[in-house]
Structure 1
Amino acid sequence: MIKRKDGFSGERALVLPASIIHTMENNPLANALHITDIGYYPRAEHHFRKRETPISQYVFIYCVEGRGWFSVNDERYEIKSNQCFILPANVPHSYGADDTDPWTIYWIHFKGDLAEYYALRLLTPIDIKPTIYSRINGRLNLFEEIYHTLELGYSKENLLYSCSAFHHFLGTICYLQEYRNATVNDISNDLVDAAIHFMKENIGKKLSISEIAEHTGYSVSHFSTIFNHRTGHSPVNYFNLLKIQHACYLIDCTDIKINQVCHKIGIEDCYYFSRLFSKIMGMSPSKYRKHKKG
């Protein structure tokens, strides 16, 4: 079996310097919970990591697509799409992507006085499945905020904001139902609204029209007719509009490279992404980034 620790197309990763971690460990706010490493691996084929010598950080992994596994304390767990888990600190472990359907993961290494209390809730895999009340895309946007804040530099304000946002990020998972209930009154049970919400929650994936229709509980033909009548677009075209809308957000609000943006919206072919973006926005992604707005 091929095993690769890193080097994935579209990947992003930040490893905070030891001096910065030391600074956070000596700050009473940051020491409660702080990030040491953070990243994103799309379709991480042959991803594998084995640590026989334990590390002092907890390792959070959120699988949004594909499959993988992890092993700790002689127990092996299979991981599928829309699941997450935390590996305990100071314990040998290993993990990796499935050979045939490699995972796409968001990952964070973290420490702090409160780290153990968050980790205890996630030592075994938990499901974060898209539903009419889920807020998956909001959670992933929060991850991007944390990443982008740290990417901007290690000022005291940036570090403390990233720590505060990370509390919220873990809270959206540890208190999943409460996170969903917080905006439950803003979500309609209407068929079209439910379908659009489902699309947004799966913006980083490929969805077939049958998968979207199944989520609403209607046949493909009946669902498509209603959706077209209400929106003026086919479900597939509307999903592409949402993908490009999110791509614009990533281009406007982050420093993600153009060839990484396509992976974030579930398009593996960068050339197809550029053609689709240009068709919808009237300019290429790179020109859009330079275009003055506001």
Structure 2
Amino acid sequence: MYLRDGFPGQRLHVLPRPLAKQALQRSPTSRLLVTDAGYFPHAARHGRVRRTGAAEAIFILCEAGAGWCEMGEVRHDVHAGEVLMIPPRQPHRYYADDSDPWSIWWLHVTGADLPDLLAAIGLDLARPTAPAADPVQAADLIESICNDLARDETSSSLTAAAGAAWHLLAQLAAERHRRSVGDASINRIQAHLREHLAESFSVPGLAADAGFSTSHFSARFHAVTGFSVTEYVKRLRMARARELLLTTDRSIADIAAEVGYPDQFYFSRQFRAVAGSSPRHFRRRVTDETPADGPLSR
């Protein structure tokens, strides 16, 4: 039996359909509107079937684990660090992997500018998935959308969410351009850092692996990701730590060690710098939240 939602620590925000209809009739949300957004951590047995598709384009960012989506009788596997785009009105079904269920950030987007943005991103029915050059930044943007939608349902909050969504989609379009001009070496280093999250590293060593001088590598890495190597790794580690805080009852010391910080107190300082709260307070605040009810069309 598969589940649509109801995962411990999840976030789920859905606009009432009459409100969404009103927002699409006024500027600037007529140009771009986020109607649904959320986060499903370690979503075991997660699955959805939409025989007539959704009215909006659906973007799913796989933060960890894996899953798959079937459209037009073609199955597409989705791995950690990848984005899946499902076009509007496209029948589909998707599921978390049985042995390594995904953790996903997701959103539904519509509006007059959506077709042009989808064309710029370059994902379509034939090729609906692509690696996110910076999955940490993409997750941060969707999290900010969730925060905007959780604040209230005023025009200002919907506009703020639309702005973050525009940033996200523009970033995906820019990543398509970077892939076309060739950043395979940087993407390979990013994949290595994600796969060896807790291991120590040196920037000169990574630069040598990529075939660049240290200074050129650092500049190129920042141009692709928007972060220094050290900051990028820190955010990767903190994303994994947030997932473990939400989906396990492991101690903070254990989680710190899992993500590469043998010193629990240093880990806590780094976590606060990224998340804005201590690990203990983050776990308590998020797990105490009551998930919202979702609509039938989500």
TM-score normalised according to structure 2 size: 0.65
- Cα contact 1:198–1:212 (8 A) shared by 2: no
Question: With CA pairs under 8 Å and 6+ residues apart, which has the higher RCO, 1 or 2?
Answer: 2
- Cα contact 2:57–2:109 (8 A) shared by 1: yes
2:144 alignment counterpart: 145
Shift of 1:147: 1.4
| Match for residue 269 of structure 1 among 248, 251, 267 | 248
Give the % identical residues.
24
- Cα contact 2:12–2:38 (8 A) shared by 1: yes
Mapped partners of 1:72, 1:289: distance in 2 = 37
1:209 alignment counterpart: 199
Return the index of the structure with the highest Cα Rg: 1
> Residue 5 of structure 2 aligns to a residue in which SS?
coil
Q: Over aligned residues, Cα RMSD in angstroms?
A: 4.1
Q: Deviations over 1:136-173 (max 9, x none)?
A: 42332222222111211122111112112211111111
> Residue 48 of structure 2 aligns to a residue in which SS?
strand
The 1:157/1:166 distance shift into structure 2, 3 A limit, reads same
Q: How does 1:225-244 map to 2 (within 5 A)?
A: 242=234
> Residue 39 of structure 1 aligns to a residue in which SS?
strand
- Cα contact 2:62–2:81 (8 A) shared by 1: yes
1:60 alignment counterpart: 59
1:122 alignment counterpart: 123
The 1:207/1:286 distance shift into structure 2, 3 A limit, reads closer
> Residue 151 of structure 1 aligns to a residue in which SS?
helix
Shift of 1:178: 6.2
Shift of 1:34: 0.6
> Structure 1: which 5+ runs fail to align?
185-193, 219-237, 248-259
Shift of 1:210: 7.7
TM-score normalised according to structure 1 size: 0.65
> Residue 144 of structure 1 aligns to a residue in which SS?
helix
Aligned partner letter, 2:77: E
- Cα contact 2:67–2:79 (8 A) shared by 1: yes
**Aligned pairs, how many?**
238
2:38 alignment counterpart: 39
